[in-house]
Amino acid sequence: MRTAMLLTATLLAVGCSNDTIDDTDVNNDALYGQYQGHFDAKDGSLKFYAQLRVGGPTGTTVRLSAPANFTLDGQPMSEHDGDEALVNVSGTYYFLQQSATAPNDKYTFVWTRNDEQQFTNEITMPQAFTVTAPAEGDGWSGGDLVIEFQGPPLQNATGVSEDILVTLTATARAGEGQSQVLSESITAGEQVVFPESEMLKLPAGEVTITARKGRRSPV
């Protein structure tokens, strides 16, 4: 099996509108902000997203009018429109990508309004973890598949929730069925178990393991 690890800190809402309105047409004191940071340990990419909405976490997205802007640790974020389904971002959002061997503990977003007021929001990245089993190249021939981790305990205190989501992507050999995806998650512990009954649904072929650690907290 091939193993790929994705370490991610995520602040998100599900089922959001992708409509957009200009900030000059809304009350800037009543906007809802969403801030995300994602680190992919496989390719060393850091991706950051900032988004404003009117009407709550699923409301219409807001486009900033110059000189209003977003920065991430002092670096300007660029405006984008579209649908980033993998990170649950749609409509108008602000984006910055960096490269790093490991993420910082914290990152700071600053929203500067046209009236020159500034609003600061900070996200904390989850602590690093490693997948200790199975090893890359291992095979599966029966029984439950156990994915084991090593790292700090998952935090689930007031206002903070962490989880680990493991996804198996099975690529079928030619003529041996269709590719399949299985997912399991935990909020405590150091292993994720895929029952044999689920594993038997996968076609013969190569399986890629992706482990993602997420952290959610209010900003």
Predicted confidence (pLDDT) per residue in 141-185, tens digit: 889 999 999 999 998 887 889 999 998 988 877 666 678 899 999
DSSP H helical ranges for the chain? 196-199
11 has pLDDT over 60? no
State if pTM tops 0.85. Answer: no
Is pLDDT above 70 for 1? no
**pLDDT confidence of residue 178:** 79
Q: Tell me the pLDDT band of 219, cut-offs 50, 70 and 90.
A: low
Q: Which of 175, 137, 186, 159 is nearest to 3 (CA)?
A: 137
pLDDT above 90: residue 2: no
In the predicted structure, residue 139 carries a pLDDT above the cut 90: no
What is the model's pLDDT at position 94?
96
Residues 6+ apart with CB under 8 A from 200: none
Of 16-30, 52-66, 80-94, 202-216, the range with the highest mean pLDDT is 52-66
DSSP for 74-134? TEEPEEEEEEEGGGTEEEEEEEEEEE-SS--SEEEEEEEPTTS-EEEEEEEPPPP-EEEES
Q: Which CATH class is domain 9-124?
A: mainly beta
For the chain, the structural domain boundaries read: 9-124, 130-216
Q: Given a cut of 50, is residue 12 above it in pLDDT?
A: no
Average pLDDT, the chain: 85
